[in-house]
Amino acid sequence: MFANIGFPGLILILIIALVIFGPKKLPEIGKAAGHTLKEFKNSARDLTSDVTDEVKEAKEIIDGKESK
């Protein structure tokens, strides 16, 4: 959806954000957004590893039943 913004569009968005939120509030907003993105990535990684572990356990159970 936002893949074709480009550099000029990004600059325009940053200028609008600076005008709306002001120079003092903008770094705080950026920091909060960074923390949110980091937490989201960690949660996604944890979920992926949990699913991978469950699939491995299921394969081991299936392989154990097939060898009997």
CB 18 within 8 Å of CB 26:
yes
- The reported pTM is 0.58
Q: Give the three-class secondary structure for 3.
A: coil
pLDDT tens digits, residue range 14-40?
899 889 988 889 889 889 999 999 999
Average pLDDT for the chain: 87
As a whole-number percent, the residues of the chain with pLDDT over 90 amount to 46
CB 51 within 8 Å of CB 42:
no
CB 48 within 8 Å of CB 56:
no
